[in-house]
Structure 1
Amino acid sequence: MKKQLTAIFISLLFFQLSISAVEPMKPQEFKADIIIYGGTSAAITAAVQATRMKKTVIIVSPDRHLGGLSASGLGFTDTGNKGVIGGLAREFYHRVYLHYQDKQSWPWQQQTEYGNKGQGTPAIDGTDRTMWIFEPHVAEQIMEDFVKENTLKIYRDELLNRESGVLMKNGNILAITTLSGKKFIGKVFIDTTYEGDLMAAAKVSYHVGREANTTYGENWNGVQTLVFQHQHHFATKIDPYKIPGDKKSGLLAGISNETPSPNGTADDKLQAYCFRMCLTNVPENRVAFPKPDRYNLLDYELLVRVFNSGWKALFNKYDPLPNRKTDTNNHGPFSTDYIGMNYDYPEASYQRRKEIIAAHENYQKGLMYFMATDPRIPKDLQQQLNTWGLAKDEFKDNGNWPHQIYVREARRMIGAFVMSENEVLGKKEVPKPIGMGSYSLDSHHTQRYVTPEGYVQNEGDIGVKAPKPYGISYNAIVPKITECKNLLVPICISSSHIAYGSVRMEPVFMILGESAATAASLAIDNRTAVQEVNYNQLKTLLLKQKQTLNWNGKP
């Protein structure tokens, strides 16, 4: 009898398995007032604020690690004027301060040896109890602390189905579905990705590339040949051909054969991406620069010619983090920026994006390995470089390499209001401010080309100082009401290319994430479209949250 029951059970089990193979399970459904798509710093501040507003919230993160660039190497914070950083963003930097007050947080260096260098401000501000410079793992832990303390629901490694995963009705998003089949139903949605994937999938208008100066009455948008404001250009005449002087030999790697359009005109090109490397010169914590999977000496021939021309400023951008580490960014005419190799990234499939990211990783790892090992590198620089390496205690599950590539710019929404350089430079007033920016108009190079004289040159580098902090309009984070009524976009905001060069700073993203969640909560409470949120109500709440909305002359 027992054998018969066992046989029946096994038969039923195989029957159920065969049915499930033919009829897939229905997607799992999850509901909340606010659905946040993204795992960036803006995602976390938005979720925390939604919880404080007594709303249910779910974070749907395409990433496993939280915090975006803040937790992926960009620890030498682009603060601009720290006086305009308030709310949860300032709380984040306060928590950084508290972390480094503990002696246990300094395993590789005494705090007194660290110094106090920051970008435009001291690294440690004892008066305000904030610290603006930090190691990657510290930022990620603070993000995880926010998640734990606020009991945030988060689904990681969940990629939006960009083809058919946004369900809309009468201009409202009803639900989003991920590639794994999970369905998230909400009242208001917030896109906190660097790419603007939810915004694009919801058919909201956006732009990729540089607008013409005439589009928004600007001076620094569009193509900008022979404009060198950060000195990351070729200062001497460098031959671009594989065989010097021989055009028939072809161009060296990374040099475009296209002729740039006239200055101020539009194109579809993007400023370059890179990884913000966390390096260390502590021998016990240092990992030698690894040889990448794809390594080609010819990729770096142009760098040899730069060194041969007399340039030796290699170590000018190793910005100090605590514990003898660095936030190492692009510096010089040939550096970590992989110029011209990201143009298709914003619209690319997930698979294609992986390929682009892998190519950037190969290039940048190869660059470091090349400089550390090739005999043509000046010996003094090579010896100095080899005192550095990847930090063994950072990005432990990724070969000590950053989790997130620096997507400096991808899609930008065309919303109810477009921020331009005129607002950033104080030429025009900003309606309905919900936070402030203060950084310079900042764009990295966009293309590497051959000049009419026959030499290699970079193009796209802009750095124009904002005279004072400026407001960022609420209307710049909401789509046109005719396109979507319940979506907020605090990262890929409605902005021109060059204005975005100032907005695109991590503290600003945290600020806008918090403001977006506050507005979302008001839209839910008042049953209005996000475009119809009462600004006076919103302003009152933001000021209670200690957000800064107007410049009052603080240092």
Structure 2
Amino acid sequence: MSDAELLVYGGTAAGVCAAVAAARHGVQVTLLEPGRHVGGMVSGGLGYTDIGNPAVVGGLAREFAAAVGDYYGVPPGHHAGPEPHVAERIFLEWLDRAGVTVRFGTTLTAASIVDGRILSVSGADGRECRAGVYVDASYEGDLLAAAGVGYRVGRESRSRYGETFAGRREPAPGKHNFVPYLSPFDAGGRLLPLIHDAPAVDAGEGDGGVMAYGYRVCLTSAGDRLPFPRRDGYREDEWELARRYFALLAERGIEVTAGDLIGLVPNLPNGKCDGNSIGPLSLNLLDGTNWAYPEADEAGRERIRRRHREYTMDFLYFLSHDPAVPEAVRRGITAWGLPPDEFTDTGGLPHQLYVREARRMVGEYVLTEHDLLPRPRPQYDAVAMGSYHIDIREVRRTWRWVYEHPDPIPMVFNEGYLSVPVRPYQIPYRSIVPRYAECTNLLVPVCLSASHVAFGSVRMEVQYEMLGHAAGLAAALALKGDRAVQRVDVTDLQERLAAEGQVLALPA
């Protein structure tokens, strides 16, 4: 048994910010991280930081940007983000200076709940930890689920909140979709790999589908780069769909570059690149493997992570070696490789799977599309602001019959992608606390209370950092006043956040 005043579960950037914010106010904090690293995606491959309107970035998120600038000797914001190992170094220094106790390798297995309060949590290592207030900063929402707090997984129907963009999306042309008519079947009439074969619900209905996961690889074009190896177990047949795609492009006279598949832009310091998923065939795995991840046990999640790791390695090898890949693409990919100084303990791939969404709490207030569009709703209890567009990545790759003359044609397509611009909006405190009747000493800055559509905007790491800051300061106030997190004086919280640089509103 170990005790703390505040226990933070999940060493994501939000978890680090929550722990540091509270510890700076004299709170005794323990941070439990299931893996071996802190920083989540910020140190796990997502170096290029999506911000939106920089005017809304404040508090510890702005402080992190300043720390990055200090490290490289440049003004804040000069680089879109740091190299992964630099991000982790900054976070570890923050935790150390704040006096936060960090325990790695601690996967949550249970929580003890009495009268709507978490008394203690237990880890797979057999250790138990008791605290007065808890923060669930995990990408999965495991602590909120263990505490019996209500949540949802995947996209809801349009009817649930009356959202225009909710539910299953009809396929639409664009850079994230294939050109017609890419067949999903092999010569024997069997469905090709990398396609999700589950039946589709009607357009606008909810199906529990979560947006694609993947590994955001860090690449370099430096001379000491590591080439993409052929993995033991590499399957030639898994890439038949990709071969057909490139052949179809060639038939149409469409030229494609490596940068059209992976964003090969040196957007990180020292010439490194945060490889993003750009086109219809990308680092995103769209065969539905990740749909089970949010509620899977640890063994199930590890199988899903392993599947994504193998797909990533094989995708990079395929693009750089397969003769069916256009020479320009192969040449462009092989100009890059894995940096020898990143992810040295995980074989060159990031330690963090990009879990774009998992559980989403149903808290005191559910942020929806209507809070963002067409004009943002004012929130009296704002604790941070968001501004990035509603960015919902593809949910799955499937197929349908296209009724052309004289016979229908089967065609592969990706479904679920959505990009809708928003104006800067306020994120309410009520969206990071559970309903009072369910739990009174838990704050949730990552798997916050939002619809699938609204979450598509809030889910950016900068927002997580600012919400983590708010959660940590709110936890300190709840402990000081010996009160439920829902009973924290929000005006006092806002004043303290503003004093620490948090942006709660923009000038009219």
Normalising by structure 2, what TM-score?
Answer: 0.94
Match of 2:2 in 1: 30
SS at match of 2:350: coil
Q: 1:251 aligns with which of 154, 166, 191?
A: 191
* Residue number in structure 2 paired with 1:290: 229
Residue in 1 that maps onto 2:242: 303
Q: Indicate the residue corresponding to 2:495 in structure 1.
A: 540
Residue 148 of structure 2 aligns to a residue whose secondary structure is coil
Aligned partner of 2:413 in structure 1 is 457
Deviation at 1:326, TM superposition (A): 0.5
Q: State the shift of 1:131 in Å.
A: 4.1
- Write out per-residue CA displacement over residues 477-510 of structure 1, whole angstroms, 9 at most, x where no aligned residue: 0000110000000000000011111001111111
Q: Which amino acid aligns with 1:216?
A: Y
Which residue in the other structure is 2:435 paired with? 480
Q: Partner of 2:497: helix, strand, or coil?
A: helix
Name the counterpart of 2:272. Answer: 325
Cα distance in 2 between the residues matched to 1:533 and 1:414: 19
Contact 1:36 1:58 in 2 (8 A): yes
1:196 alignment counterpart: 141
In the alignment, which residue of structure 2 is the partner of 1:445? 394
* 1:393 and 2:341 are equivalent in the alignment: yes
Shift of 1:227: 3.4
| Correspondence for 1:500 | 455
Deviation at residue 151 of structure 1 after TM alignment = 2.0
Deviation at 1:170, TM superposition (A): 1.1
Shift of 1:169: 1.1
**What are the within-5 Å matches in structure 2 for residues 276-425 of structure 1?**
276-284=216-224, 286-310=225-249, 311=254, 312-316=256-260, 317-319=263-265, 320-339=267-286, 340-425=288-373
Q: Is 1:549 aligned with 2:504? A: yes
The DSSP-based 3-state class of the residue aligned with 1:510 is: helix
Deviations 1:55-83 (A, max 9, x none): 11110111211100000111110111111
Whether the 8 Å contact between 2:80 and 2:268 is mirrored in structure 1 is no
Tell me how far 1:265 sits from its aligned partner: 0.9
What secondary structure does 1:364 align onto? helix
Change (3 A) 1:152 1:427: closer
**Secondary structure, aligned partner of 1:154:** strand
Measure, in 2, the Cα distance between the counterparts of 1:292 and 1:419.
Answer: 43
Structure 2 counterpart of 1:520: 475
Q: How far apart are the structure 1 equivalents of 2:231 and 2:360?
A: 33
Q: Which amino acid aligns with 1:214?
A: S
- 1:284-318 Cα shifts (integer Å, max 9, x gaps): 2x001022233111111111111112251431312
Partners of 1:92 and 1:474 lie apart in 2 by: 22
Provide, for residues 223-256 of structure 1, a one-character-per-residue CA deviation record: whole Å limited to 9, x for no partner.
011235x62011231111112xxxx521110223
AA aligned opposite 1:273: Y
Q: CA contact under 8 A between 2:376 and 2:426: conserved in structure 1? A: no
Amino acid at match of 1:65: H
- 2:406 aligned partner: none
When residues 223 and 129 of structure 1 are mapped into structure 2, their CA distance, relative to the original with a 3 A threshold, is closer
Name which of 73, 85, 90 aligns with 2:45: 73
- Paired amino acid for 1:85: V
* Identical amino acids, percent of aligned pairs: 38
Q: Match of 1:405, as an amino acid?
A: L
CA separation of 1:399 and 1:129: change in aligned 2, threshold 3 A: closer
Question: Does structure 1 residue 135 correspond to structure 2 residue 90?
Answer: no
2:190 corresponds to 1:242? no
State the distance in 1 between where 2:70 and 2:372 align: 33
- In structure 2, C-alpha distance between the alignment counterparts of 1:493 and 1:419, rounded to whole Å: 9
The 2-side partners of 1:540 and 1:133 are apart by 29
Cα distance change, pair 129–213 in 1 and its aligned pair in 2 (3 A): closer
Q: CA deviation at 1:429?
A: 3.0
One-letter code aligned to 2:13 = S
How far off is 1:129 after superposition? 6.5
Alpha-carbon displacement from aligned partner over 1:363-420 (angstroms, at most 9, x marks no partner): 1110111111111111122122111111111011111110000000000000110011
Is the contact between residue 32 and residue 56 of structure 1 (CA under 8 Å) also seen in structure 2?
A: yes
Per the alignment, in what secondary structure is the counterpart of residue 391 of structure 1?
coil
Conserved 8 A contact 2:440-2:484: yes
User: In 2, are the aligned partners of 1:166 and 1:175 still within 8 Å (CA)?
Assistant: yes
Give yes or no for contact 1:438–1:502 (8 Å, CA) kept in 2: yes
Paired residue secondary structure (2:290): coil
Q: How many equivalent pairs are there? A: 491
Aligned to 1:16: none
**Alignment partners' CA distance in 2, 1:518 and 1:464:** 32
Structure with larger Rg: 1
Whether the aligned pair in 2 keeps the contact of 1:135 and 1:322 (CA below 8 Å) is: yes
What corresponds to 1:184 in structure 2? Answer: 129
Q: Is 1:85 aligned with 2:57?
A: yes
